[in-house]
Amino acid sequence: MKKNKKNFLLFFLSIIFFGFLSLFIYKKTKKFFPKNSCKYSIEIRTVRGSSMEGLFAPGEEIKIAKGFYACNEIKRGDVVVYNFSGNENPIIKNVKAVPGDLFALKEQEGSWTIEINGNNLKNSADELYLLGEKEHQMLSLYEKDYQGKIPPETYLILGNIPSGTMDSSRFGLVGKKDILGKVIY
């Protein structure tokens, strides 16, 4: 009987010991491997231009999470800040297609629409994006070269004006490295 009590006591003490040891190890490693080790900064910027009207007004202040995509995935629908070469200030655009998406250009009454995964692209006011011949020529090169599929690390970004702005319809698909951050709204 004494042997059973002694074994039970040893068993109970070992459970407590290993419980505390596990808790100690967890707390120590948590400091070295934090749950979210992504570092980004928040900047306040003023919207210049009207290409995102309907979402942001010219002169409106917005928050930008710079460096957000260093450890987060860019998603369709994100509003991003893009480093457009030749432009002193980065531009704000909406991500309309991500790597792996299927895209096609369809002629419609003298204009061209953009289809992503079989659906016509629309802006925030539910209006179709309509491309002119120049914009169609630019994007048709990508459609042809990549067999209608957005390549890895590449995105289609558009303004919110359906007739076009300074966006992928004018300068083509963009690389992840030039996307500076996410607009928080």
C-alpha span between 65 and 120 (Å, rounded): 29
- Give yes or no for a contact between 154 and 173, defined as CB atoms under 8 angstroms apart: yes
Superfamily of domain covering 41-184: Umud Fragment, subunit A (2.10.109.10)
Digit-coded pLDDT (tens) for 32-57: 444 556 789 999 999 999 999 999 99
Torsion of CA 145, 150, 153, 158, to 10 degrees: 110
Confidence of residue 158 (pLDDT cuts 50, 70, 90): very high
Confidence of residue 6 (pLDDT cuts 50, 70, 90): confident
Provide the edge-to-edge strand list for the sheet that holds 119-120: 103-108, 111-116, 119-120
C-alpha span between 154 and 172 (Å, rounded): 10
Q: Where along the chain do its domains lie?
A: 1-35, 41-184
- Predicted TM-score (pTM) of the model is 0.78
